[in-house]
Structure 1
Amino acid sequence: MELRKKRLMSTSSLVKAALLAAISIVLTRVFSIMVPLGGLPALRVGFGNIPIILSGMLFGPLAGGITGLISDLLGYIMSPQGAYFPGFTLSSTLLGIIPGVLYKTLKIQKQRFNYNYVNAMMVLSLAVGIIWVLFRSEVVGVNNGHLILNDTASIYLFAGISGVALLFGIMPFWISKHMKGAIPKIGLDKLTFTVTLTYVLVSLLMNTYWLSIMFGKGFMIFLPGRVVAAIPTIPIYTFILYTLSRFVDFRE
């Protein structure tokens, strides 16, 4: 029937999106922790975003947006954590819309373009951000042309995070080389691009801006800590979704 072809979402997709929203609520409200930045609860660490991203990739931007919208609103009603701020609802909605646009509208999974080069540039930008955080927080400094280490313990932390960034930048090239000729259900380069772009736009930029409005603090008060958190979070999200791709098909 013509009417069926025009339906934006099937009943099956809607039910699955609702299930992913429920999983997101549990992961966000129960199995996540708040990390203080500048003495304020400004960074949530957990896996609640993954079901929202997954919904957009599988069912499209509309379903992904609904998943994000429901998970934020219903999650706040069930377990409020601080004051409600509508900006975070918008961010949660975009977490599903952006991957949906990339996979269902632009269909980047069918493109032959190698996104590893774009990903390497984005990882390099985050690495530069780490260096900027080091100098801004005065963990390192320069005196008379010499590098000064002011906090040795923090150096080890940043070195570990930088190592993760480097590994994350190199590994997709290595995997692509060793999987040459194979036909994976999903390209790691395209998945990495999707997760990184979504995380940078929503978490690093939008959510940091919402926090600055909500707490009446400068944007730069929150950004350094969130940049540092992005380095391990993006590859973890990517490899969880890549593992899930063995059981679901993103290529449609």
Structure 2
Amino acid sequence: MKKFVTLFTESYRELKSVRTITTAAMFGAVAIVLSMFSINMGSYIRISFASLPNELVAYLFGPVVGGLFSGSMDVLKYLLKPMGAFFPGLTMVTILAGIMYGCMFYKKPITLSRVLVTKFLVMLVCNVILNTICLSILYGKGFMVLLPARALKNLVMWPIDSMIFYSMVRALDTMGVFKTIRKAQTAGTK
């Protein structure tokens, strides 16, 4: 339990750094650009890679920064490109996803198994269950009517999203991007 609390306090300290804010802002710009290229399959299913920056921010800065970043990006993306009605419940689910990614990735080695498990948990809890409940409330459709298509979409996207995130982290790590960001973070806190 102490490690879990420490995870949040260290992530909160990251939030106080100007370099964290500027790095998150750059990832935010990438997230906005990626969100403009989503594929809509009806009113209830959308395929997008805009969550990739959210996951990277959670990996770098932890659950507090990841949750705040995910929530603020959700609202900002909606303001820039409204699709459907705004529903605060969906933003809360996005914040929860950022927190979950931060808890699973922050200061931990990224392995394919860790990515697969984390993506599965986030997709099951946030995308399939909670988002479907929110969409059911928002559009007045039955939960069980929406669930099969959303579950199938997430089941198909699970290995694809996992491999994209894992490959991206490996590539950025190999290029030294994360080392540069972390070195700048530690230099800024001294």
What is the TM-score with the length of structure 1 in the denominator? 0.60
Which residue of structure 2 lines up, in the alignment, with residue 91 of structure 1?
Answer: 93
What letter corresponds to residue 244 of structure 1 in structure 2? M
Percent of residue pairs bearing the same amino acid type = 35
Unaligned runs of 5+ in 2: 1-9, 183-190
Question: For the Cα contact (< 8 Å) 1:20–1:67, is it kept in 2?
Answer: no
Distance 1:23 1:95 in 2: 18
Which residue of structure 2 lines up, in the alignment, with residue 172 of structure 1?
Answer: none
Residue 26 of structure 1 pairs with residue 28 of structure 2:
no
> 1:54-203, aligned counterparts within 5 Å?
54-104=56-106, 109=109, 186-203=110-127
Q: Secondary structure at the match of 2:40?
A: strand
Distance 2:117 2:34 in 1: 24
Question: For the Cα contact (< 8 Å) 2:14–2:61, is it kept in 1?
Answer: no
- Residue 108 of structure 1, CA deviation: 5.4
Distance 2:26 2:119 in 1: 21
What is the alpha-carbon root mean square deviation over aligned residues? 2.0
Q: Secondary structure at the match of 2:86?
A: coil
What letter corresponds to residue 148 of structure 2 in structure 1? P
What letter corresponds to residue 11 of structure 1 in structure 2? V
Unaligned runs of 5+ in 1: 110-185
What letter corresponds to residue 24 of structure 1 in structure 2? A
Question: For the Cα contact (< 8 Å) 1:22–1:71, is it kept in 2?
Answer: no
Which residue of structure 2 lines up, in the alignment, with residue 214 of structure 1?
Answer: 138
Larger Rg: 1
Which residue of structure 2 lines up, in the alignment, with residue 159 of structure 1?
Answer: none
Distance 1:187 1:7 in 2: 26
Question: For the Cα contact (< 8 Å) 1:95–1:198, is it kept in 2?
Answer: yes
Residue 237 of structure 1 pairs with residue 161 of structure 2:
yes
More helix by share: 2
What letter corresponds to residue 13 of structure 2 in structure 1? R
Distance 1:74 1:198 in 2: 22
Q: Secondary structure at the match of 2:44?
A: strand
What letter corresponds to residue 91 of structure 2 in structure 1? T
2:152 corresponds, among 228, 243, 248, to 228
What is the TM-score with the length of structure 2 in the denominator? 0.79
Distance 1:231 1:70 in 2: 27
Distance 1:201 1:19 in 2: 28
> 1:28-47, aligned counterparts within 5 Å?
28=35, 30-36=36-42, 41-47=43-49
Q: Secondary structure at the match of 2:37?
A: coil
Aligned residues: 164
Q: Secondary structure at the match of 1:233?
A: helix
More strand by share: 1
After TM superposition, where is structure 1 displaced by more than 4 Å over at least 4 residues in a row? none
- Residue 54 of structure 1, CA deviation: 1.7
